[in-house]
């Protein structure tokens, strides 16, 4: 009886969680319909709401914004908009911090979260997966002559919380796995292991 129950849970739990996450995303993005006049809402035309219409509207707005921001006039408007936000005391600090993080993570040329590493944490001899986020700031490098690397150590099973560490580059091991594979490995608490590529990574000299 127990093995049948476990087998059923293994089938239903991932499916239910997936549906719940998708429903949360669609419901949240559907809130963008509130930006439209009431007479433009789906229930005005057909008498009921259609889930997902707001998500399509959100994607369309993002695409149009990106298209407009890529031309000369759009770039100038973005500059003026950021200057305006930069003059508002509290908004300035929040917006600039969020923008720096998003530019670093979402930029195609950025190096944040491009490499999965092994680091010793929370003590020597205990290894965990981390993600390289860049190099320490110049002020840090002036006080620490060792070649350091900035890493993010996610927690399990929620990788959105974690720890920011600066560790010697020589004490890290680059993993032959993608960031997605490493995240799955962390979230599953080591249950879902990446495929073995037959390459053994060695610590750097």
151-188 pLDDT tens trace: 999 988 788 788 999 999 999 999 998 888 998 888 88
CB 167 within 8 A of CB 136: no
Q: What confidence score (pLDDT) does residue 110 get?
A: 56
pTM given for the model: 0.56
101 & 10 share domain = yes
102 & 120 share domain = no
- Flag whether pLDDT at 62 surpasses 80: yes
50 occurs within a structural domain: yes
120 & 83 share domain = no
38 & 65 share domain = yes
- Flag whether pLDDT at 149 surpasses 70: yes
14 & 64 share domain = yes
199 occurs within a structural domain: no
99 & 121 share domain = no
47 backbone φψ class: left, alpha, beta (φ>0; ψ -120 to 50): left
17 occurs within a structural domain: yes
Q: What confidence score (pLDDT) does residue 107 get?
A: 61
List pLDDT tens digits, range 81-125.
888 888 888 888 888 777 776 766 666 555 567 799 999 999 999
């Amino acid at each position: 009886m127990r093995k049948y129950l476990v087998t059923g849970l293994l089938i239903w739990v991932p499916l239910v969680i997936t549906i719940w996450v998708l429903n949360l995303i669609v419901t949240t993005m559907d809130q963008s319909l509130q930006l439209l006049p009431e007479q433009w809402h789906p229930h005005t035309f057909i008498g009921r709401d259609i889930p997902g219409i707001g998500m399509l509207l959100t994607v369309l707005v993002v695409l149009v914004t990106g298209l407009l921001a890529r031309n000369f006039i759009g770039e100038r408007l973005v500059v003026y908009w950021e200057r305006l936000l930069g003059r508002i005391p509290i908004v300035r600090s929040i917006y600039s911090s969020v923008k720096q993080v998003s530019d670093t993570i979402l930029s195609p040329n950025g190096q944040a979260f491009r490499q999965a590493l092994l680091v010793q944490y929370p003590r020597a001899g205990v290894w965990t997966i981390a993600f390289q986020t860049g190099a320490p700031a110049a002020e840090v490098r002036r006080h620490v002559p060792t070649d350091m690397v900035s890493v993010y150590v996610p927690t399990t099973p929620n990788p959105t919380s974690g720890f920011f560490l600066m560790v010697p580059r020589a004490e890290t091991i680059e993993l032959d796995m993608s960031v997605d594979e490493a995240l799955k490995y962390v979230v599953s608490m080591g249950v879902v292991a990446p495929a073995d590529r037959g390459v053994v990574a060695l610590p750097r000299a």
